[in-house]
Structure 1
């Protein structure tokens, strides 16, 4: 359904005075999302997760230069096609509640999205009523403006806009922070149901545990690129390949609870070789010479020249 190949995103920015500089924030990124599949994207802040969503939906600012190829349903996703499909065939659950129109009642906003997706006025009203009930939003909430509801309620409204949209591709950008655990579970289950109905779902999250509950695959981002795309079962069977993925897994409280040493490199100071080289326990001189390409190791793509020789040891 969605194919992202060798994607790079560079911003033209002003440095000092009128001096311009180029800042590359996404580098040679790859991702595939099939119909009926939930692909979770995990990684630290600044790794390019939300920027990928904005690139796919054509929401990047004018100073962004995009290279590489993005295809949706087998056809190139041009800016014009993005505009025609956004909100209809492709829906976003944004990270910020600021996406809600402050001058429109929230129920009216969600109904409008449902109608843009092809539902009649009556069908849209019924769908919104069911969706608000599912997310524990009282019917009266539909009459409120965004400033009259809490942050958690606003986030549930944003989730509702995506699930009523009839879109074939749903991109959920951190949809669960600040929500009650029961609502988190319901939201994640609903995303999985959308996939079971044949939609493609991208779940962007910092929470690996949440991702593993509903995802089919996990794409691990680091410093603006994909370092591994693993099947969920690989995590539980000790088969994940990249040292950064293994470090993230071991940092969870129920595992070794070992923090990942060091920090992610800044976009304006990326190393020539492997982006993880200065933090990697497997690093050799060859790692610093050139950036590794994606290749298949034990059935899944990984960006590491040593992945074949190192296995998880938990």
Structure 2
């Protein structure tokens, strides 16, 4: 494992994406038409700058994907949000999303359900290329670059294996230039070589000037390409750290949950001294005490 060097720049530019105090709630109906409200995301904060990969890491259910869906305006209709989402210095309204998403703003989704079951691969890849400013005729070439033959163009999503569907999504999203990319668990279903190439390609988008939010539960895997790492748990942002802080016994990390997460990695021997007390203290720490890197 290699870790990207720490930048000496102490005055980074304004973030392209600025999420502040985001909460996501859902209204559900229980037996007897009783309503209940669930708030799985509470006060999440994230900033993503052009030219950087900002990794959002945490256990399953920590609110990572919901943040990405909120940014793209893809939450279900029973969801409501509070807080602020700004893009390129201005609030990201529904009207702005409609003009931006699919073009300079894109999401690489985790679920294969984001493919349209009623459209062929050719139609979906061609449409994605057009939205990204490329000719629809490039569809066969971008699939070939990911090891998919021309026969795949005529297939529907249900005729694809999980790995093939993943590569179709990668072709749709990563084959055009973007200013902001939200990549939600982009490598499941890929062989190790394809996974490494995909992460390198995501890093390349950032190096070309894009702001990338990389959502992952794989802390070790993102250290190679991330510029900043945002640690989340139970729908809350706990700490924003630099990759170099994830070293040794994690003493460079501020929040106890971040240290516990790092020490639990297999490469660190699952070393968790005083595990139960440590985790209880981590979860009890006030949200307002979260540490941040400017």
Question: What range describes the TM-score normalised by the shorter chain of this pair?
Answer: 0.7 to 0.9
Task: Return the TM-score normalized by structure 2.
Answer: 0.86
List per-residue Cα deviations over 1:235-259 (Å, max 9, x = no partner).
1364122111111111111112247
Distance 1:154 1:291 in 2: 38
Mean Cα deviation higher: 147-156 or 229-238: 229-238
Distance 1:169 1:146 in 2: 26
Decide whether aligned partners of structure 1 residues 86 and 65 sit closer, same or farther in structure 2, where only a CA change above 3 A counts: same
Distance 1:216 1:152 in 2: 28
Give structure 1 stretches of 5+ with no counterpart: 263-276, 302-314
Corresponding position of 2:279: 279
Cα offset, 1:107, TM superposition: 2.8
Corresponding position of 1:62: 77
How many residue pairs end up in the alignment? 276
List per-residue Cα deviations over 1:19-56 (Å, max 9, x = no partner).
11221111111000001111111111111011001100
Kept in 2: contact 1:110–1:164 (CA 8 A): no
Decide whether aligned partners of structure 1 residues 293 and 257 sit closer, same or farther in structure 2, where only a CA change above 3 A counts: closer
Matched, 1:141 2:156: no
Distance 2:230 2:282 in 1: 21
Matched, 1:150 2:161: yes
**Highest RCO, 1 vs 2 (Cα 8 Å, sep ≥ 6):** 2
Corresponding position of 1:256: 269
Secondary structure at 1:170 match in 2: strand
Secondary structure at 1:66 match in 2: strand
Of 45, 51, 74 in structure 2, the residue corresponding to residue 30 of structure 1 is 45
Give structure 2 stretches of 5+ with no counterpart: 1-15
Q: Residues 38-53 of structure 1 correspond to what in structure 2 (within 5 A)?
A: 38-53=53-68
Corresponding position of 1:190: 201
Corresponding position of 1:292: 288
Corresponding position of 2:89: 74
Q: What RMSD in Å do the two structures reach over aligned CA positions?
A: 2.2
Mean Cα deviation higher: 31-40 or 241-250: 241-250
Of 2, 17, 32 in structure 2, the residue corresponding to residue 2 of structure 1 is 17
Cα offset, 1:291, TM superposition: 4.3
Corresponding position of 1:312: none
Task: Return the TM-score normalized by structure 1.
Answer: 0.81
Corresponding position of 1:125: 137
Secondary structure at 1:104 match in 2: coil
